[in-house]
Each structure stands twice: as structure tokens, then as C-alpha cells.
């Protein structure tokens, strides 16, 4: 039974840890499916986290914080669009620039506004998103197996967690069941086909980037307003890049993206859990090894196991019709 509880706990933290990855991964899915590579997921999450925590602590409202996180993150997505869609700049360069601006400006503004070494003030309970307890939790808690699963795994997360997982079927539906999704996928494969079909390539790509901005905003808000009680500098800690790896891993498909992010979340949870605990046969494993595992895994899996990941064909190439 102890092992069972331990597993449930690891799975529970798997969910918590995969949420920011999942949101960022789906964010990247919108823009990359539309043919715009976005290495700036990291930066947009970071500004989202900062704006969310800052606004929440100033206005004492979690929802205003979330709104601000989304707004600022979308603004950064539009900057990326302006550089790479309107001005046909290099998408990687623009994305990297956004990451730098995000890292620098959040610390600078944080220090200027709050004087806490780049942090935002610790958020009070009403300024964060609290865990939601599902009905009947207490009643079933005692029931073996189902009890812990319901009360620990399913219940007891913040609203953003549920939103993140609902975004998976929603994104799938948008992409494969709506007109917008059809056009979005088309523009990532062959923008000239979209153009000659009488649809504006630029406007379509901008809309995709707005979707990206919204989701990275929510991801950022989750980091600073759910996982943590405030903004800490560089708190995204490479999650934007892992999300990109997960996206490739998932071959740009929403449901796959969820499993990829859960896998990375699981490895993360495992590494935290196993810190300092000796493993049978192997003995004590250095923390660094466990932390490196997701990246090692990405390389190994991408190199051989998942087959060829074919990105959207027009990805990374600005659309030019008159050269």
C-alpha cells in the first residue's frame, strides 16, 4: 500500500509539473503548424509569469493577474510576428531576441517596481489560483485505490490545470474540425496555396501567434501564481525549450503533445522524488543525472525511436511572393 501511495504522489506531481510544459507545447503547436517557428516560448512564458504575478499582487486579483499575463505574452507574440511575418526576418533570431528581452526586462522592471531583487512580492491567498476540491472527496478518501486516485490525482488542482488538459481536445478540435484549423495547417504546409485561395497569409499567421501568446501567458501565470507564490527571476528554467522538444516528439499533434509532456513531467517528478534515495542495485544516483534525464531521453528518442518527425513544410520560411 505504501508503494501505491508513493506512485499516486509521483503521478500527482507529474500532473503539476507537466502543466506548464503542456501549455507551452500547445502554444508552440499553433505557431509551428502555421509555419512560424517559435523558439521564444520560453521568453513569452517568462513575461507572462512576471506580468501575472505583478498584476495580481498590485490589484489583489488572481484573474486580473491572469489577464495581464495573457495580454503581455500576446504582445510579445505580436512582436515576433511583426519581425518574422511582416518584415520576414529570421524566426530563430527573433525568437532568441525575445528570450533575451524577457529575461532582462523582467528582472529590471521587477527590481524597479518592487525592490526585492527581481522578485515580485509573495502572493496572498486571494491573489493566487487555489486548489479546487471536488465534491465527495472526503467521502471516497477511505475507499481503496479509487479513493486516493480521486482525491489526490483528480481533485485538488487549480483551475489552470484543468484548463491545460481541456486545451488538448480543444486544440485538436480547432485544428482538425474547424475552418480556421484547416487554413492554419495549410499555411504551415504551403502558404502560396493559401494565398492563391484568396486568404491572407499574414493575417492567418498573426492569428496563430495570438493563440500562442494566450497559451504561453497562461503557462507563465501557472508558474508564478500556482506553482510558486510569486515571480522569481528566470523561473521558466528552460521549460520553453523542453516544450519545443516535446512538440517535435509529438510530431506536432495535440494528443501526442499531452503524452510527451506527461512523460517529461514524470521524469521530473521522479528525479525530485529520488533525490538522495539510493536505488536498488545502482545505489545513490546523482541529482544532476536525474535532472539531465529528460534531455538525454529527447535526444535518444528523437534519434531513433519515434521515427522521422516531419515538421510543417513551410516552417521557418518567411512567405515571399515577389522576390
Ligand X SMILES: Nc1ncnc2c1ncn2[C@@H]1O[C@H](COP(=O)(O)OP(=O)(O)OP(=O)(O)O)[C@@H](O)[C@H]1O
Instruction: Dig out the grid coordinates for 86 from the structure.
Output: 511582416
178 binds, among ligand X, another protein, none (CB under 5 to 8 A by kind): another protein
For residues 205 and 315, is the Cβ–Cβ distance under 8 A?
no
* Pair 121, 182: CB distance under 8 Å: no
- The DSSP secondary-structure symbol of 127 reads G
Contact status: 323 vs ligand X (CB under 6 A): yes
Q: How far is the CB of 323 from ligand X (least distance, A)?
A: 4
319 contributes a contact to ligand X by CB under 6 A: no
**Residue 177 binds which entry of ligand X, another protein, none, with Cβ cut-offs from 5 to 8 Å by kind?**
another protein
Which residue number, 128 or 183, has a Cβ lying nearer to another protein?
A: 183
**Element housing 34 (H / E):** none
Q: How far apart are CA 89 and CA 37, in angstroms?
A: 12
- Grid coordinates representing 157 are 488542482
CB of 84 to ligand X, least distance (A): 20
With CB cut-offs between 5 and 8 Å by kind, which of ligand X, another protein, none does residue 180 bind? another protein
48 or 191: CB nearest another protein? 191
CA-based radius of gyration for the chain: 20
- Residue 196 found at the interface with ligand X (CB under 6 A): no
Interface residue list for another protein (CB under 8 A): 176-183, 185-186, 189-190, 192-200, 313, 321-323
Q: Specify the residue for cell string 471516497.
A: 140
Minimum Å gap between C-beta 174 and another protein is 11
CA distance 317 to 159: 37
Q: Does 138 bind ligand X (CB under 6 A)?
A: no
| Separation between Cα atoms, residue 269 and residue 14, nearest integer Å | 5
* Identity of the residue, 286 or 307, whose beta carbon is nearer to another protein in the bound complex: 307
Q: Which is nearer to ligand X, 192 or 292 (CB)?
A: 192
Q: Give me the count of residues in the chain.
A: 323
CA dihedral for 188, 192, 195, 197, sign (positive or negative): negative
Q: Which does 195 bind (CB under 5 to 8 A by kind): another protein, ligand X, none?
A: another protein
For residue 277, the SS3 value is: coil
Q: Does 2 bind ligand X (CB under 6 A)?
A: no
Does the protein bind ligand X through residue 191 (CB under 6 A)? no
Binding site for ligand X (CB under 6 A): 322-323
Amino acid at each position: 500500500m505504501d508503494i501505491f501511495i508513493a506512485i499516486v504522489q509521483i503521478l500527482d506531481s507529474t500532473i503539476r509539473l507537466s502543466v506548464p510544459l503542456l501549455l507551452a507545447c500547445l502554444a508552440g503547436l499553433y505557431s509551428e503548424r502555421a509555419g512560424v517557428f517559435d523558439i521564444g516560448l520560453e521568453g513569452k512564458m517568462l513575461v507572462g509569469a512576471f506580468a501575472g504575478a505583478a498584476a495580481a499582487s498590485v490589484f489583489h486579483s488572481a484573474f486580473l493577474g491572469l489577464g495581464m499575463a495573457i495580454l503581455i505574452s500576446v504582445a510579445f507574440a505580436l512582436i515576433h510576428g511583426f519581425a518574422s511575418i511582416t518584415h520576414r526576418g529570421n524566426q530563430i533570431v527573433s525568437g532568441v531576441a525575445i528570450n533575451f528581452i524577457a529575461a532582462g526586462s523582467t528582472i529590471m522592471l521587477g527590481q524597479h517596481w518592487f525592490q526585492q531583487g527581481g522578485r515580485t512580492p509573495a502572493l496572498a491567498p486571494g491573489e493566487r489560483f487555489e486548489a479546487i476540491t471536488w465534491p465527495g472527496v472526503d467521502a471516497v478518501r477511505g475507499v481503496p485505490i479509487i479513493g486516493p486516485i480521486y482525491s489526490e490525482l483528480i481533485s485538488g488542482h487549480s483551475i489552470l490545470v484543468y484548463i491545460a488538459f481541456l486545451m488538448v481536445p480543444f486544440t485538436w478540435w480547432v485544428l482538425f474540425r474547424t475552418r480556421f484549423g484547416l487554413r492554419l495547417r495549410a499555411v504551415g504546409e504551403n502558404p502560396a496555396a493559401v494565398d492563391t485561395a484568396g486568404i491572407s497569409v499574414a493575417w492567418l499567421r498573426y492569428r496563430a501567434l495570438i493563440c500562442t501568446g494566450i497559451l504561453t501567458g497562461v503557462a507563465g501565470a501557472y508558474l508564478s501564481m500556482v506553482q510558486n507564490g510569486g515571480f522569481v527571476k528566470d523561473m521558466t528554467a528552460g521549460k520553453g525549450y523542453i516544450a519545443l522538444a516535446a512538440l517535435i516528439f509529438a510530431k506536432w499533434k495535440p494528443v501526442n503533445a499531452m503524452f510527451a509532456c506527461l512523460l517529461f513531467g514524470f521524469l521530473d517528478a521522479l528525479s525530485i522524488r529520488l533525490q538522495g534515495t539510493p536505488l536498488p542495485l545502482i545505489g545513490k544516483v546523482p541529482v544532476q543525472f536525474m535532472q539531465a534525464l529528460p534531455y538525454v531521453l529527447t535526444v535518444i528518442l528523437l534519434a531513433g525511436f519515434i521515427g522521422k518527425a516531419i515538421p510543417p513544410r513551410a516552417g521557418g520560411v518567411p512567405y515571399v511572393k515577389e522576390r
